[in-house]
Structure formats: C-alpha cells, structure tokens
Amino acid sequence: MSKNIVGSHAEYKKLESNILQISQEAKTQKKKFPDVIDATVGMLHHENLDVFKFQVVEDALKTLSDAEIYNYAPVRGKKSFTEGVLNWVFNENVDMIRNDFKYSIIPTTGGSGAISNSFYNFNDFGQKILLPGYYWSPYKNFALEANVDLETYPMYNENNRFNVEGFREKAFALAKEQGRLCTLINDPSNNPTGLCMEKEDWEEVIKILNEIDNTGVPVILIHDIAYVDYQLKDVDDSRINFSTYKDLNEEILTVVIFSGSKSFSMYGFRVGAQIGISKSQEVIDNFTRVGDYSVRGRFSSVSQPGMNLIDTIFNNERFVKLFKEELAIANDILKKRATLFKETAKKYDLKHLPYFGGFFISLKTENKNIFEDLKKEHVFVIPMQGIIRVAISSLPLKDIPELVRILKKFV
Ligand SMILES: Cc1ncc(COP(=O)(O)O)c(C=O)c1O
C-alpha cells in the first residue's frame, strides 16, 4: 500500500510480546492440550481456575439502582467514592494525609488510565521517567503514547533488596539532565518481581526526592500501589510505608495509583484513580486542572457501575468487613502457592528473585529463546527484561512442581 494511513508519529506502534496476547495464546493452547500450564494471567484465580470473585462485589452489585448503573458518571466521580478510596488506601495514615497535605482524586479507567494520564501530564515531550530495571512492560506503552520514554536503574542491591543507591545516582543524573524528575515506583508487591520495599527504603527515597526538590527542579513521584492489598498481610498492617510521606517537601507532587481491578478482582470494570497529594495547594490545583481535562479528552468519564460498586462497599461497614475477610482468603491462596513454589525451587536449586507478596514470582534468565523453549513444553510465562514472570495468581498448586521442573531445564 502506498498511502500513509498511519500518522508518522504513530508509525513505530506494534505491540510486541504483549501480556494480554500471550495470555490469549495460552488459553487457546489450553483448549487443545489440557496439560498446558498457563502462568501468564495477572488475575487471581481459584484452584479450579475460576476467577476469584468477591462475594461482596456480587452483593453490592444487587443494590445498585438503574441510575447508578446506566447514567454517565461525573468526570470527578462522587465524593463518597473518592473519599472512600482515600480512606481505604491510606488507612491509619489518612488523617496525616488530610491534615498535612492538599489532595485531589481523579477517577480513571483502571490504574492504567491513571498511569497513562500521569505520564502524559507531568513531563515535557521527549523526557524520561525513572523506574527500576524490572518493570511491568505496559509502562513502556504508556510512556511512548505520551511522547516520553523510560530510564532505568538496577532494581536490587548486593543484598537483593531495593537499590537505594542506584536510585539516587540515576535520579540526580536525570534531574540535572532534564530539569525535572518524574519517577515511578511500583510497591508493594512489585509486578513482576514480588519485591516489597522496607520502610527504611522509603525513608531514603523521600530524602533523595527532597534533596532533588531543593535544587529547584520539579519532582513528581508516581507511586503505583496496584497490589497493595496482596502483601500477604492484614490490611491494617500493610499501609505502614505511607507514613514516610509526611516528610515530603512542600512542592513535590505524589500521584498514588489506585487500581480497582486488583483490589476487588474487578478487572473488566476498568476503575482506578489518580490520587494527587502535595503540601502545596498550587501544585494540587494544577494536578486537578490537567487531570480533569485529560479524563474528558481521553476517555470522557469512568465506569459508573464500577465506581458505584466500590463506593457502596467502602461506605458500608458490613461490606468492608466482608471485603477484608475475602481479601484474607485471597492472600492465603497466594501464600500457599508462593510457599510451594519456593520450596520446590529450593529442591531443584532453581534461583528466583525474592518474593514478598503479590501476583508474581520472577526468575532471571540468560536464555533469549526461553519463551519458545517453554512453549514447546506447553508452559506459558511472560518474558520480560532478562527475566521470566510466573503469575502465581493464576497457577493452581497442582501445576507448580511440574512447572518448576521444566523451568529448571531452560532458565
Ligand atoms: C503494576 C501494575 N500497575 C497497574 C496495573 C493496572 O491495572 P488496571 O488498569 O487494570 O487497574 C496493573 C495491572 O496489571 C499492574 O500490574
């Protein structure tokens, strides 16, 4: 074809080794070959491979009126939804956020919409966002779509913990080079690695951000907490690291990424939020101004039934109690799978990145052909930056010993 149908800025676009495509391929193969092991899907599944539905979501759905399901939603969402999200996310730290900070919450189409809007609005075109070397690959798509790119630092130090020094070095260099620092940290229960940063790591990160802010450049921290509810801990014990925010300098903008997909298994509902936090009212006014505009300009508004479901649950004590009970069951499923994976890996002397929580365990590999090698053995995992990602969220216990045995052969 001789005509340029695609705009020149979009010529580069082609989804490669896309997670959703690989998952689809695994599902198709599973229909043909029942022995297929599908460890691709970042959705929580029961042992019988049914998706882990929250009964509380089903119950809340029955309480919604026609208007709460069918009408357009307000761009900014309802206050009861946004305040409910704030309370849930920050838990015991919520008073500190309300007292010490200005904040604004913008509903988005999933956490993805929140990240994509943040990448777009808080960088100049051509600039780079800083994140660790292992990252959820769609960040690259969000970045390129927003005319920005990614810069990375090695994620681990010599003790296999978060590499504060690596972060410091690259953060200062990037801030100097481009007169801005926008960094994304996906914590806790990192996708793809399963890392949970320590409180001391967060204290150091905040100190570094403050030092860079003191040099006069804008500093934006995007904190992706998609898996905050899957740290294999009780909800009340899992929010401690947010307390480190209190030391943030006045003009720093923190954007916390909330995902309704993960917290409620409401993957298809597409509900999330950007929670903008700063000690400066001016920063928050700017956050709200550009965020509102982008919601309207990019996807108009967010799923009305999705937001109302979450709103209904957060604002009903009985539902919150039920939700917490079901989250404990979900965490228990992950814990059992992670334990079996770790024990079996130990038996086979198969090394993996340290797992502390979340949907994934990852293993380093030098094998460039690993995806194809494993596919031949009817095993599907997601290849990423020098690692393979095993989704224990969708991996029944019975498949784990065989999976580990095959991984050992090819990693
Ligand atoms: C690290 C991370 N952040 C954010 C998201 C966003 O999910 P959603 O757009 O479904 O809310 C995901 C989904 O897989 C994720 O893994």
Give residue 238's pLDDT: 85
The β-bridge relationship of strands 253-259 and 379-380 is: unpaired
Is pLDDT above 90 for 37? yes
What is the per-residue pLDDT for 120?
A: 97
- Cα of 98 to ligand 1 centre, how many Å? 26
Are 85 and 258 spatial neighbours (Cβ–Cβ below 8 Å)? yes
CA distance 73 to 90: 25
Q: Where are the alpha helices (DSSP H) in 350-399?
A: 370-376
Range(s) of the chain covered by CATH 3.90.1150.10 = 8-53+320-410
Q: Residue 222's beta-bridge partner residues? A: 184, 255
Q: What is the pLDDT of residue 111?
A: 97
For the residues 90-113, what does the mean pLDDT come to? 96
Q: How far is the CA of 177 from the centre of ligand 1 (A)?
A: 30
- pLDDT at residue 98 in the model: 97
Residue type, 119: F
Starting from the edge strand earliest in sequence, which strands make up the sheet with 382-383, in order? Answer: 360-364, 387-391, 382-383
pLDDT of 1 above 80: no
- Determine which helix (DSSP H) or strand (DSSP E) holds 65, and give its type and residue range: none
- Atom 12 of ligand 1, residue of closest alpha carbon: 226
Does residue 192 have its Cβ closer than 6 Å to ligand 1? no
What are the tens digits of pLDDT across the range 321-369?
Answer: 999 999 999 999 999 999 999 999 999 999 999 999 999 999 999 999 9
Q: How much distance in Å is there from the Cα of 115 to the middle of ligand 1?
A: 9
How far apart are the CA of 1 and the centre of ligand 1, in A? 37
Give the model confidence (pLDDT) of 148-193 as tens digits: 999 999 999 999 999 999 999 999 999 999 999 999 999 999 999 9
pLDDT in tens, 284-311: 999 999 999 999 999 888 999 999 999 9
CB of 44 shorter than 6 A to ligand 1: no
109 Cβ below 6 A of ligand 1: no
Over 80: is that where the pLDDT of 18 sits? no
Q: Measuring from atom 15 of ligand 1, which residue has the nearest CA?
A: 226
Confidence tier at 214 by pLDDT (50, 70, 90)? very high
Run of H or E residues at 221: strand 219-224
pTM of the model: 0.96
Domain boundaries 8-53+320-410, corresponding CATH code: 3.90.1150.10
CB of 136 closer than 6 angstroms to any ligand 1 atom: yes
Phi-psi region of 189 (alpha: psi -120 to 50; beta: other; left: phi over 0): left
Mean local confidence (pLDDT), 24-40: 92
CB of 183 closer than 6 angstroms to any ligand 1 atom: no
Which mutation among 108, 193, 227, 259 tests ligand 1's pocket best, with the greatest number of atoms within 8 A of CB?
A: 259
Ligand 1 centroid–CA 111 distance in Å is: 5
pLDDT higher than threshold 80 for residue 269: yes
What is the pLDDT averaged over residues 116-133? 97
How many Å apart are CA 278 and CA 101, to the nearest integer?
5
pLDDT for 2 beyond 80: no
- What does the mean pLDDT of the chain come to? 95
Q: Is the CB of 104 under 6 A from ligand 1?
A: no
What is the arithmetic mean of pLDDT over 112-123? 97
Q: Where in the chain is the domain with CATH 3.40.640.10?
A: 72-316
For residue 388, the SS3 value is strand
Query: Does the C-beta of 116 come closer than 6 Å to ligand 1?
Result: no
The reported pLDDT for the residue numbered 23 is 87
Q: How far is the C-alpha of 327 from the C-alpha of 322, rounded, in Å? A: 9
Q: Residue 17: is its pLDDT beyond 70?
A: no
Whether the CB-CB separation of 170 and 133 falls below 8 Å is answered with: no
Residue type, 224: D
Give the DSSP H or E segment for 362. strand 360-364
CA contacts within 13 A on the Cβ side of 216:
1
Token pair for residue 391?
């989704």
Q: Which atom of ligand 1 is nearest to the CA of 257?
A: 4
Ligand 1 centre to CA of 226 (Å) is 6
* Residue 111, ligand 1, Cβ within 6 A: yes
Give the pLDDT confidence of 46-60 residue by residue, as tens digits.
999 999 999 999 999
Q: Residue of the nearest CA to atom 16 in ligand 1? A: 191
Q: Can you tell me which residue has the tokens 């994304």?
A: 184
Ligand 1 binding pocket includes 226 (Cβ within 6 Å): yes
Up-side HSE of residue 96: CA atoms within 13 Å toward CB? 15
Quote the pLDDT of residue 41. 86
CATH topology of domain 72-316: Aspartate Aminotransferase; domain 2 (3.40.640)
What is the reported pLDDT for 279? 98
Q: How far is CA 196 from CA 184, 261, 336, 346, 395, in A?
A: 15, 20, 18, 21, 21
Q: Which protein residue has the closest C-alpha to ligand 1 atom 6?
A: 111
> Is ligand 1 within 6 A of the CB of residue 224?
yes
Name the closest-CA residue to atom 3, ligand 1.
226
Is 191 touching ligand 1 by the criterion CB < 6 Å? yes
Question: What per-residue confidence (pLDDT) applies to 21?
Answer: 84
**Which tens digit of pLDDT belongs to each residue from 193-213?**
999 999 999 999 999 999 999
**pLDDT classification of 79: cutoffs 50, 70, 90:** very high
Of ligand 1's listed atoms, the one at least distance from the Cα of 190 is 1
Residue 215 CA to ligand 1 centre (angstroms): 33
